[in-house]
């Protein structure tokens, strides 16, 4: 160690590295993103790929062994079994209804938050929307089970009116799903509406657009990508959920089949094939959404 060396910090390793990356911006970016993108590729896409491969294997219940040779039998079974078709149809209908209902409930709330409420009220509302997400999802489903039960609070409240709740069935499940996923719709729609410049709405009004027309021709198209974003959450969350159906109803949905095949029968390949179904449905859904121009305003 000599004094002369200490006065030349530029030659230290970190300085040299900094210079090296500074003059190679692409390499710099790549190195920064290497870890997160490796995580994304390996953990997310990698596991999906493994699932896809597994879905072409087969399982023998008598030997409890997985045969790793290529076969389409799981998909053939899904396509041919009337029970599976019923279950898939039931799940998709439920997901569509839940999505439509969350849009109808969420849009006015989001609109009020984004364009009407004072900043203070807006902050309170955002908190009000987010806070339920902090509570345990399973605890909330149990609570709903109790609410809908024979001697639950719903029947108690409806009794004076001579009415009764739906009981614990698919109708109750619909309400539970709408409750569970509503924040996932409100937040993106709120963010989307908030981004619409006020000048566009004023321009529409200046050009003679009545509020209804402005809403239909300006606000709604601009908010559509946000609605689609929210619907991806509500639709896919409903497609995959198995805990709410098993606690609220006696019927089974797509997720219950996967759970049963995986957790009870040990039929991993069939479960994997079944898990590809919601993915395929979501891909179709996004393609249709794009075709309808939902992303053009992005």
For residue 58, report the phi and psi dihedrals to the nearest 5 degrees. Answer: -140, 160
Which of 71, 166, 167, 237: binder of another protein (CB under 8 A)? 167
Answer yes or no whether residue 64 interacts with another protein by CB under 8 A.
yes
Of the residues 40, 48, 108, 150, which one makes contact with another protein according to CB under 8 A: 150
Q: How far is the CB of 280 from another protein (least distance, A)?
A: 19
| Selected binder of another protein within 108, 132, 211, 266 (CB under 8 A) | 266
Nearer to another protein, 82 or 208 (CB): 82
Contact letters (x/-) for another protein, 77-116, by CB under 8 A?
----x-xx-xx-----------------------------
Phi-psi region of 64 (alpha: psi -120 to 50; beta: other; left: phi over 0): left
CA distance 180 to 10: 57
Q: Is the torsion defined by CA of 156, 158, 164, 166 positive or negative?
A: negative
The residue among 64 and 121 lying less far from another protein, judged by its C-beta, is 64
Q: Is residue 143 a contact point for another protein (CB under 8 A)?
A: no
Judge contact between 157 and 129, C-beta under 8 A: no
Taking residue 202's Cβ as centre, other Cβ atoms within 10 Å add up to: 11
CA distance linking residue 296 with residue 63, whole number of Å: 53
**Which CB, 182 or 248, lies closer to another protein?**
248
Phi, psi of 16 (to 5 degrees): -65, -40
Per CB under 8 A, the list member of 51, 100, 237, 262 interacting with another protein is 262
Q: Compute the least distance from the CB of residue 263 to another protein, in Å.
A: 6
Phi, psi of 65 (to 5 degrees): -120, 150
Q: Which is nearer to another protein, 2 or 63 (CB)?
A: 63
250 binds another protein (CB under 8 A): yes
Give CA–CA dist 9/17, Å, rounded: 12
Binding mask 210-229 for another protein (x = CB under 8 A): --------------------
């Amino acid at each position: 160690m000599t004094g002369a060396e200490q006065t030349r910090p530029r030659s230290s390793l970190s300085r040299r590295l900094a210079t090296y990356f500074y003059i190679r911006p692409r390499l710099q970016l790549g190195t920064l993103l290497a870890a997160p993108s490796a995580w994304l590729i390996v953990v997310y896409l990698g596991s999906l790929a493994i699932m896809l491969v597994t879905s072409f294997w087969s399982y023998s219940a008598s030997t409890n062994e997985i045969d790793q040779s290529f076969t389409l039998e799981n998909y053939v079974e899904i396509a041919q079994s009337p029970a599976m078709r019923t279950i898939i149809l039931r799940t998709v209908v439920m997901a569509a209804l839940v999505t439509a209902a969350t849009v109808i409930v969420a849009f006015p709330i989001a609109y009020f938050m984004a364009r009407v409420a004072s900043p203070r009220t807006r902050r309170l509302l955002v908190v009000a929307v987010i806070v339920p997400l902090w509570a345990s999802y399973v605890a909330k489903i149990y609570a709903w089970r109790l609410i809908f039960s024979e001697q639950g609070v719903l029947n108690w409240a409806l009794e004076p009116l001579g009415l009764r709740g739906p009981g614990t069935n698919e109708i109750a499940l619909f309400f539970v799903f709408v409750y569970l996923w509503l924040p996932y719709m409100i937040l993106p729609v709120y963010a989307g509406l908030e981004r619409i410049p006020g000048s566009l709405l004023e321009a529409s009004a200046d050009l003679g657009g009545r509020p209804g027309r402005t809403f239909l021709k300006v606000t709604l198209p601009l908010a559509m990508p946000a609605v689609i974003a929210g619907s991806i959450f509500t639709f896919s969350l409903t497609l995959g959920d198995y805990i709410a159906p098993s606690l609220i109803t006696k019927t089974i949905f797509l997720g219950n089949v996967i759970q049963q095949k995986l957790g009870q029968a040990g039929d991993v390949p069939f479960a994997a094939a079944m898990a590809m179904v919601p993915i395929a449905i979501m891909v179709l859904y996004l393609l249709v959404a794009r075709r309808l121009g939902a992303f053009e305003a992005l």
